[in-house]
Structures are given as structure tokens and as C-alpha cells.
Amino acid sequence: MIIVNLLLVIPREIRAYNSFGMGLKSYA
């Protein structure tokens, strides 16, 4: 159960981090 939750949550976190990084690049 915990492993399944990680598989569902991690991609969401990665997407949020990537979009945040792209936002920083656009400001730089």
C-alpha cells in the first residue's frame, strides 16, 4: 500500500519541481 502511494505521489512531486524550475529559468 505504501509503495503504491509513493508511485502515485512521486511523479506529481517531480512534475511540480520541473514546472517550478522552468519558472525560475524564465525569470533568470
SS (H, E, C) the chain: CHHHHHHHHHHHHHHHHHHHHHHHHHHC
pTM for the whole structure? 0.45
Q: For residue 28, what pLDDT is reported?
A: 63
Quick one: pLDDT at residue 5? 81
Q: Each residue of 1-28: pLDDT tens digit?
A: 788 887 888 888 888 888 888 888 877 6
pLDDT score recorded for residue 12: 86
